[in-house]
């Protein structure tokens, strides 16, 4: 867009010229118009590879001492393009050096900032800058890269990488397997993204209510939370639910308990009579939307649910504006990094969260959405890499108990100590970042040695009430369509929740349009993939 | 760029010099032109070849040379896209509103400032007015969000004074468009005023003196002297502004829009960004961009033609 702006600036210069050379200027204007346009799509020529916008660091200062001592061959230089986990933190740190030493490599790491990560990665690859190891965010991009033959099948060399093979033994590799039987990427998962319904316990106590177990009880709680002044400040400033927008799309997950009670989850697959059905378009979704519409009219949903971003949403949870949403379970435990509990307590010493269960409703209730087994981030090796062995060596080491432990906690005795069962960190979170612990998550598995019993309890609970997505691990080719359809769904859902009149017609129109826009084709593709997978 | 003029003002004494004389004589000027020309060639002309992506099923890894040619297929896909016409309509609507209300605003402010007697006051007002131009849309969006918030915004207090229920205006399609136009005017009002103020200094003061002698008041002077005096500047800027019609404010809308108002606020640029660049549909994005530019070119030439018809100078 910058290019666009420049194009127009140039026209202003042209204006100042006298009446001669008309034609030349006509061409110039046409050209700058067209040039402005071309910058929209022509990423190859007008956008520089990510090096300018990302912190690139090569930790060349350390020639591997291990190699020197044992007389091994010189370390292999590997190029990595990874997501930037800790913004602004250089990779020239102890953890990177540790990996280099252990695997006899030299890592040249380009960290790409999380926003617009995939776009920059693609431009980097297209411009001929081919790293050995890359990271991918979405399934869609993984499919695209596999289709272009860019990625190395990891399973082909599982015999040489036993730790990597073990990494996904419990069903993870099944979920990563493509229709050709190959595994192209290692999923990086974070347990913290799983959701549970949470309630403000202090509010429930004050209003003399119990944690709701049915949808009707939930309505009563939501009403009391919103309209009976649970925080006792005499103002109508509390709500049961809120949500947030990211990139023009609306996050639907904070109201999963309502949809769950009506037997569906929006933007998720349901299994009905052996077939996959899209949870956003089933009749149960309409009932849930009517319920939410009623809540909205009853002032139980924050009117800003659609204009807030995630930071403002977080702020509202911490300030005690929202009382009964579905949100990340970790926010209820104080021992977790970035937890919400301590700031909440600071704002309000009496504040307390309690977890709820699946609400009984008219439908066959379903649980809460969890992070896919395919992870939020994936690591892959490029086929074109001249150092495939070294790349696999690094991944295998990081997948090993030793490597993964280091990536989780750092060096024993220096960064943490173990007393009996209890693991205690002896450095601050900031030191942890500076030392690069958890910075290079190529084959990362979160460990729970240091977490509190409460955290474990919540973790187990989240998994107990979590929804087992029947389509988890299915990949289909045209799933870029899904992003588009999900955005459309969010938009229409918001309209229905905020609607003044009846929403039956709106919903019928939405379902028809969803199908027409490629929903039917997508459903078919997923069902085919599902049958294919279950046949085996 | 001055070269052209110099060349026109040819002097008779040049016969004695070499055949190359016009260029040789102005060689320093040509040398000064060179960087500008290079800039255009490297950054504006060379990238033009990227347009071919719009006629290809472009694969980022195969590159332009090896991607498959598909003719007008991508354009057909664009025009068949379910939301395309809605998005085009939004683009035009928002842009027309911005021109309708945003274009006269700096003229009015410039006229008002021009009438101010106190020079210092005038300078201060001018500076304060154009400060918002330097604030990025992301920050302005944050300010707007904070003002408009029905739970803790300034506006909610105003609502309370009148005993009304606070509304989330940013989620209201009509109000959102007004907010878009208003914040756009607020941001660039002062900046636009500078050009008109500069033009106003060109108006011959003796005309005012003559008008005063003839008994014309301030209104008459403004109508019959000031406005005609800056008419060519107004027309020129209007033509340029119409050329930007397809450019309804990418950054502003991207950071301010939300799901509730997406249907009225999705414009071509945000659509190209989200659908084309973020989801990797490069051919599609280029085709939309090319369409966008073609329309812009037609508009600017049309505005030029009309202005010529009405006897104005226009661009060329």
- Distances in Å between the alpha carbon of A172 and those of A183, A372, A460, A462, A472? 10, 10, 18, 19, 10
Set of chain A residues whose Cβ sits within 8 Å of the Cβ of B290: 34, 37-38
Instruction: Please tell me if residue B65 touches chain A, with a CB cutoff of 8 Å.
Output: no
**B38, burial (CB in 10 Å: exposed 0-12, middle 13-18, buried 19+):** exposed
Confidence check: pLDDT of A70 > 80: no
Can you give the pLDDT at residue B89?
A: 93
Confidence check: pLDDT of A67 > 70: no
Can you give the pLDDT at residue B281?
A: 82
Confidence check: pLDDT of A37 > 90: no
The residue among A96, A199, A168 whose CA lies nearest residue A436 is: A96
Query: What does B107-128 look like in DSSP terms, one character per residue?
Result: HHHHHHHHH---HHHHHHHHHH
DSSP label of A211: P
Residue of A nearest to B173 (CA): A495
How far apart are alpha carbons A280 and A493 in whole angstroms?
Answer: 9
Can you give the pLDDT at residue A40?
A: 39
CA B171, distance to chain mean position in Å, is: 26
**B20, burial (CB in 10 Å: exposed 0-12, middle 13-18, buried 19+):** exposed
When pLDDT is averaged across residues B126-154 and rounded to a whole number, the result is 89
pLDDT tens digits, B224-258: 888 888 888 898 888 888 888 888 889 999 888 88
How far apart are alpha carbons A378 and A189 in whole angstroms?
Answer: 9
When pLDDT is averaged across residues A424-451 and rounded to a whole number, the result is 83
The residue among A5, A8, A36 whose CA lies nearest residue B44 is: A36
Confidence check: pLDDT of A481 > 50: yes
Tell me how close the Cα of A111 comes to any Cα of chain B, in angstroms. 19
Can you give the pLDDT at residue A35?
A: 41
How far apart are alpha carbons B107 and A164 in whole angstroms?
Answer: 69
Tell me how close the Cα of B51 comes to any Cα of chain A, in angstroms. 6
Instruction: Please tell me if residue B93 touches chain A, with a CB cutoff of 8 Å.
Output: no
pLDDT tens digits, A176-200: 888 788 999 999 877 556 788 989 9
Confidence check: pLDDT of A20 > 80: no
Can you give the pLDDT at residue A72?
A: 63
Tell me how close the Cα of A433 comes to any Cα of chain B, in angstroms. 28
Can you give the pLDDT at residue B203?
A: 86
Look at A431 and A21; give whichever has higher pLDDT.
A431
Set of chain A residues whose Cβ sits within 8 Å of the Cβ of B266: 248
Instruction: Please tell me if residue A51 touches chain B, with a CB cutoff of 8 Å.
Output: no
Q: How many CB atoms lie within 10 A of CB A86?
A: 18
Can you give the pLDDT at residue A59?
A: 40
Can you give the pLDDT at residue A482?
A: 79
Can you give the pLDDT at residue B215?
A: 84
Can you give the pLDDT at residue A46?
A: 34
Contact A306 B64 (CB under 8 A): no
**Nearest Cβ partner for A237 among B151, B251, B289:** B151
In whole numbers, what is the pLDDT of chain A averaged over residues?
Answer: 80
Can you give the pLDDT at residue B148?
A: 87
Determine which helix (DSSP H) or strand (DSSP E) holds A482, and give its type and residue range: helix A480-497
DSSP label of A468: -
When pLDDT is averaged across residues A35-42 and rounded to a whole number, the result is 39
pLDDT tens digits, A511-522: 999 999 889 999
Query: Would you say B47 and A35 are in contact if contact means Cβ atoms under 8 Å apart?
Result: yes
Confidence check: pLDDT of B295 > 80: yes
A382 bridge partner residues: A151
Can you give the pLDDT at residue A248?
A: 56
Confidence check: pLDDT of B134 > 70: yes
Set of chain B residues whose Cβ sits within 8 Å of the Cβ of A485: none
Confidence of residue A503 (pLDDT cuts 50, 70, 90): very high
**Strand ranges (E), A265-363:** 269-272, 275-278, 326-328, 353-355
Confidence check: pLDDT of B18 > 70: no
Instruction: Please tell me if residue A303 touches chain B, with a CB cutoff of 8 Å.
Output: yes
Query: Would you say B196 and B130 are in contact if contact means Cβ atoms under 8 Å apart?
Result: no
Contacts of A232 (CB under 8 A, 6+ apart): A206
In three-state secondary structure terms, A28 is helix
What is the signed CA dihedral for A224, A225, A231, A232, rounded to 10 degrees? -20
Collect contacts of B122-129 with beta carbons under 8 A, ≥24 apart. Answer: B126/B190, B126/B193, B126/B194, B126/B197, B127/B190, B128/B190, B129/B189, B129/B190, B129/B193
CA A93, distance to chain mean position in Å, is: 27
How far apart are alpha carbons B316 and B308 in whole angstroms?
Answer: 10
- DSSP H helical segments within chain B, as ranges? 3-8, 21-25, 27-39, 63-66, 73-80, 84-102, 104-115, 119-130, 137-148, 154-161, 173-200, 205-213, 218-221, 227-229, 231-243, 250-256, 262-265, 268-271, 282-309
Look at A71 and B143; give whichever has higher pLDDT.
B143
Can you give the pLDDT at residue B300?
A: 85
Set of chain A residues whose Cβ sits within 8 Å of the Cβ of B316: 17, 19, 22, 25-26
What percent of chain B has pLDDT above 90? 27
Can you give the pLDDT at residue B154?
A: 87
Contact A306 B43 (CB under 8 A): no
Can you give the pLDDT at residue A477?
A: 72
Confidence of residue B170 (pLDDT cuts 50, 70, 90): confident
In three-state secondary structure terms, A531 is helix
Radius of gyration of chain A (CA): 26
Set of chain B residues whose Cβ sits within 8 Å of the Cβ of A245: 258-259
Residue of B nearest to A149 (CA): B61
Can you give the pLDDT at residue A294?
A: 95
Tell me how close the Cα of B210 comes to any Cα of chain A, in angstroms. 31
Residue of B nearest to A236 (CA): B151
**A353, burial (CB in 10 Å: exposed 0-12, middle 13-18, buried 19+):** buried
Radius of gyration of chain B (CA): 25
pTM (global) more than 0.95: no
* Torsion A2-B104-B316-B299 (CA) sign: positive
How far apart are alpha carbons A482 and A5 in whole angstroms?
Answer: 32
Question: Left, alpha or beta for B303 (phi > 0: left; psi -120 to 50: alpha)?
Answer: alpha
Look at B73 and A421; give whichever has higher pLDDT.
B73
Q: Which of B259, B303, B308 should be substituted to probe chain A, the one whose Cβ sees the most A Cβ atoms within 10 Å?
A: B259
Confidence check: pLDDT of B33 > 90: yes
CA A156, distance to chain mean position in Å, is: 28
In whole numbers, what is the pLDDT of chain B averaged over residues?
Answer: 85
**A461, burial (CB in 10 Å: exposed 0-12, middle 13-18, buried 19+):** middle
Can you give the pLDDT at residue A12?
A: 34
pLDDT tens digits, A90-136: 999 999 999 999 999 999 999 998 877 888 888 888 888 889 999 99
**Strand ranges (E), A137-262:** 186-188, 195-200, 245-246, 249-250
Confidence check: pLDDT of A79 > 90: yes
Can you give the pLDDT at residue A63?
A: 41
Can you give the pLDDT at residue A252?
A: 74
A137 phi/psi in degrees, rounded to 5: -95, -55
The residue among A224, A249, A226, A255 whose CA lies nearest residue A327 is: A255
Confidence check: pLDDT of A278 > 70: yes
Instruction: Please tell me if residue B246 touches chain A, with a CB cutoff of 8 Å.
Output: no
What percent of chain A has pLDDT above 70? 82
Confidence of residue A5 (pLDDT cuts 50, 70, 90): very low
Most confident of A247-251, A414-418, B8-12: A414-418
Can you give the pLDDT at residue A536?
A: 59
**Nearest Cβ partner for A33 among B53, B170, B297:** B297
pLDDT tens digits, B257-273: 888 888 899 999 998 88
Exposure string (b/e) for B61-92, b if CB count within 10 Å is 16 or more? eeebeebeebeeebbeebeebebbeebbebbb
Contact A245 B300 (CB under 8 A): no
The residue among B291, B289, B67, B170 whose CA lies nearest residue A46 is: B289
Can you give the pLDDT at residue A66?
A: 43
The residue among B249, B140, B244 whose CA lies nearest residue B186 is: B140
Set of chain A residues whose Cβ sits within 8 Å of the Cβ of B288: 40
When pLDDT is averaged across residues A141-162 and rounded to a whole number, the result is 88
Instruction: Please tell me if residue A521 touches chain B, with a CB cutoff of 8 Å.
Output: no
């Amino acid at each position: 867009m910058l290019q666009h702006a420049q194009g127009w600036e140039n026209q202003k210069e042209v204006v100042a010229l006298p009446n001669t050379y008309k034609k030349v200027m006509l061409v110039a204007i046409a050209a700058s118009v067209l040039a402005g346009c071309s910058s929209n799509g022509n990423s190859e020529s007008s956008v520089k590879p990510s090096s300018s916008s990302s912190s690139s660091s090569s930790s060349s200062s350390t020639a591997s001492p291990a190699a020197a001592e044992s007389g091994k061959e010189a370390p292999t230089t590997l190029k990595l393009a990874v997501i930037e986990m800790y913004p602004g933190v250089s990779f020239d740190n102890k953890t990177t050096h540790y990996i280099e030493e252990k695997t006899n490599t030299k890592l040249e790491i380009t960290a790409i900032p999380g926003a617009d990560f995939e776009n920059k990665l693609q431009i980097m690859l297209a411009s001929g800058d081919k790293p050995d190891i890359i990271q991918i965010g979405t399934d869609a991009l993984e499919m695209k890269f596999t289709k272009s033959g860019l990625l190395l099948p990891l399973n082909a060399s599982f015999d040489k990488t036993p730790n990597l093979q073990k990494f996904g033994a419990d069903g993870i590799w099944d979920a990563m397997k493509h229709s050709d039987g190959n595994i192209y990427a290692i999923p990086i998962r974070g347990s913290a993204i799983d959701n549970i319904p949470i309630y403000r316990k202090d509010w429930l106590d004050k209003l003399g209510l119990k944690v709701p177990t049915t949808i009707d009880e939930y309505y009563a709680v939501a009403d009391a939370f919103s309209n009976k002044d649970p925080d006792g400040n005499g103002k109508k400033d509390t709500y049961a639910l809120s949500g947030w927008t990211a990139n023009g799309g609306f996050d639907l997950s904070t109201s999963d308990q309502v949809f769950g009670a009506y037997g569906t989850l929006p933007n998720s697959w349901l299994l009905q009579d052996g077939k996959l059905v899209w949870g956003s378009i089933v009749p149960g979704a309409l009932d849930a939307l009517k319920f939410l519409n009623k809540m909205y009219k009853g002032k139980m949903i924050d009117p800003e649910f659609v204009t807030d971003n995630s930071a403002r949403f977080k702020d509202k949870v911490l300030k005690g504006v929202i009382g009964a949403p579905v949100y990340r379970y970790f926010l209820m435990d104080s021992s977790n990094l970035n937890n919400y509990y301590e700031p909440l307590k600071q704002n309000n010493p009496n504040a307390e969260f309690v977890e709820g269960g699946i609400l009984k409703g008219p439908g066959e209730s379903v649980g809460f959405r969890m992070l896919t087994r395919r992870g939020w981030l994936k690591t892959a090796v490029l086929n074109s890499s001249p150092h495939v062995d070294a790349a696999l060596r690094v991944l295998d080491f990081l997948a090993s108990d030793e490597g993964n432990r280091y990536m989780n906690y750092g060096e024993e005795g220096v960064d943490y100590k173990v007393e009996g069962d209890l693991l205690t960190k002896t450095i601050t979170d900031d030191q942890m970042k500076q030392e690069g612990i958890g910075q290079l998550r190529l084959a990362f598995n979160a460990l729970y040695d240091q977490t509190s019993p409460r955290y474990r309890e919540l973790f187990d609970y989240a998994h107990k009430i979590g929804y087992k997505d029947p389509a988890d691990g299915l990949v289909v080719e045209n799933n870029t369509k899904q992003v588009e359809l999900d955005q459309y769904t969010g938009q229409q859902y918001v309209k229905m929740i905020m609607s003044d009149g009846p929403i039956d017609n709106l919903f019928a129109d939405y379902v028809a349009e969803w199908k027409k826009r490629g929903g039917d084709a997508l459903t078919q593709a997923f069902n085919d993939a599902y049958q294919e997978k279950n046949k085996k | 760029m001055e070269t052209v003029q110099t060349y026109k003002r040819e002097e008779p004494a040049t016969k004695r010099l070499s055949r190359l004389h016009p260029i040789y004589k102005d060689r320093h000027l040509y040398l000064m032109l060179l960087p500008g020309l290079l800039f255009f060639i490297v950054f504006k002309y060379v990238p033009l070849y990227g347009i071919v992506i719009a006629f290809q099923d472009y694969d980022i890894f195969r590159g332009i040379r090896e991607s498959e040619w598909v003719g007008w297929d991508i354009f057909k896909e664009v025009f068949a896209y379910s939301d395309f016409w809605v998005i085009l309509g939004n683009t035009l609507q928002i842009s027309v509103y911005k021109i309708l209300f945003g274009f006269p605003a700096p003229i009015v402010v410039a006229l008002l400032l021009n009438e101010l007697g106190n020079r210092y006051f005038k300078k201060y007002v001018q500076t304060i007015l154009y400060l918002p131009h330097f604030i990025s849309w992301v920050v302005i969006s944050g300010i707007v969000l904070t003002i408009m918030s029905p739970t803790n915004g300034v506006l909610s207090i105003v609502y309370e004074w009148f005993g009304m229920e606070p509304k989330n205006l940013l989620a209201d399609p009509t109000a959102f468009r007004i907010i878009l136009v208003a914040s756009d005017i607020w941001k660039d009002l002062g900046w636009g005023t500078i050009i008109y103020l500069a033009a106003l200094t060109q108006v011959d003061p003796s005309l005012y003196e003559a008008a005063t002698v003839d008994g014309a008041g301030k209104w008459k002077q403004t109508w019959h002297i000031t406005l005609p005096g800056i008419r060519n500047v107004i027309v020129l800027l209007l033509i340029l502004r119409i050329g930007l019609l397809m450019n309804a404010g990418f950054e502003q809308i991207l950071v301010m829009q939300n799901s509730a108002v997406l249907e009225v606020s999705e414009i071509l640029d945000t659509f190209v960004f989200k659908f084309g660049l973020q989801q990797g549909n490069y051919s599609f994005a280029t085709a939309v961009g090319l369409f966008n530019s073609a329309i812009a070119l037609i508009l600017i030439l049309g505005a030029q033609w009309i202005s010529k018809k009405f006897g104005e100078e226009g661009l060329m």
